[in-house]
Amino acid sequence: MQKEKILIEEFLDKELPQENLKPEVLHKAMRYAVLGGGKKLRSLLAVSACKAVGGIVDNVLQAGCAVELIHSYSLIHDDLPCMDDDDLRRGKPTCHKKFGETIALLAGDALLTLAFEWASKAKTSNPNRNSEITLELAKFAGHCGMVGGQVVDIEVTGAIPSAGNLRFIHQHKTADLITAAVVIGGIAGNASEKQIEFLRTFGINLGLAFQYIDDILDCTESSEMIGKTAGKDVAAGKTTAVSVFGIEGAKEIAEKHKTMAINTLIDAGWENSNLSEISEFVIGRSF
C-alpha cells in the first residue's frame, strides 16, 4: 500500500491551495495540518474498499482525500485550548502553536468546507452516485457522528468512566469517520447494497479496534513514539478503554473487534484484500 499512500500524498500536495495563494497564512496552516505526516489511514481505507468492490484507484482518490481533510480539520480543532489543549501532533507543534488559535480555527473551517467541495465533484465509477458520497461524509462527520462523539467526550471528562459512554465516544468520535471512509470507497467503486452492508460492518469494528489501541498506546508508549502527548487522556480524566477495562481488558476487546472485522471480510470474499492488511496493522501498530 506504500505506492497508494504516495499517490494520496501527491494528490493532497497538488490539490490543496498553494502557500503563495492569498491569504497565504491560511493556506500554509491548511497544508501544515494535512501534509505534515500521519498515516493517511482513512484515505487508504477508501482506496482499499474501492479496489475490493472492483473499482480503481483513480476513481476514488479525490473522495478518499476528502475524508482526510475532515480528519485533519478535526485534529486541528481537537488540539485547541478550548478542547483537548495539546501542543504536539504528529511529532511537531500543533497547528495553533504554529499559527495561533485564530488561524488554526479558520484553517479547520476551510478544510471542512473544502472536503465537501471535493466530495461533490469527485471522479467515481458511477458519477450518478456522488450525492451518496457527500451525504455519507456529512452524516458521519456531523452532529450524530464525529462531532457528537467529541461533545460527549468533553461532557464526561472527569466523570466516573462507564462502558456506555465509552462505546458512544469510540463509535462516534472515531469509528464513524473510519466507516465513512470505507463506505465512500465502496460507493466510488459502484458497490452493491450488499457490499455496502459488509463495508459498514467492517468499518465499525475496525474503527472501534483502532480507538481501543489508541487508548492503550496513550498509556504505554512515549510521546516521541505516538507523535502526541502521551498520558494526557489519563491526566485529564478522560473516559478511555484503559480507564474502563484496564490495559489487558482493552487489548482483548480490540482483538475481538479486529476478529469481527476480519470475519466480515471473509464473508464478503475480501480476506486477501488490502482491507485485511490494514486490519492487522491497526492491532499491531505502536504509533
| Domain limits, the chain | 2-284
Q: What is the mean pLDDT of the chain?
A: 95
- Asked if residue 132 has pLDDT above 90, the reply is yes
CA distance 127 to 110: 25
- Asked if residue 224 has pLDDT above 90, the reply is no
Give pTM, 2 decimals. Answer: 0.95
CA distance 207 to 191: 21
Domain 2-284 carries which CATH code? 1.10.600.10
Indicate the angle between helix axes 2-15 and 61-79, nearest 10 degrees: 70
CA distance 234 to 240: 8
pLDDT reported for residue 222: 86
Indicate the angle between helix axes 24-35 and 101-120, nearest 10 degrees: 70
pLDDT reported for residue 86: 94
CA distance 259 to 207: 12
> Hey, CA dihedral for 152, 206, 138, 83, is it positive or negative?
positive
19-68: pLDDT as tens digits? 999 999 999 999 999 998 899 999 999 999 999 999 999 999 999 999 99
- Asked if residue 230 has pLDDT above 90, the reply is no
pLDDT reported for residue 197: 98
pLDDT reported for residue 233: 85
pLDDT reported for residue 221: 86
SS3 180: helix
Residues contacting 49, CB < 8 A, separation 6+: 60, 181, 182, 183, 184, 185, 186, 189, 191, 199, 275
- Asked if residue 284 has pLDDT above 90, the reply is no
In this structure, what are the phi and psi dihedrals at residue 89, rounded to the nearest 5 degrees?
-150, 125
Burial of 16 (0-12, 13-18, 19+ CB in 10 A): buried
159-218: pLDDT as tens digits? 999 999 999 999 999 999 999 999 999 999 999 999 999 999 999 999 999 999 999 999
Residues contacting 37, CB < 8 A, separation 6+: 90, 91, 92, 227
Query: Across-strand partners of 93?
Result: 88
CA distance 83 to 113: 21
Q: Which of the four pLDDT bands, split at 50, 70 and 90, describes residue 96? A: very high
CB 114 within 8 Å of CB 29: no
pLDDT reported for residue 267: 98
How confident is the model over 98-106, as a mean pLDDT? 98
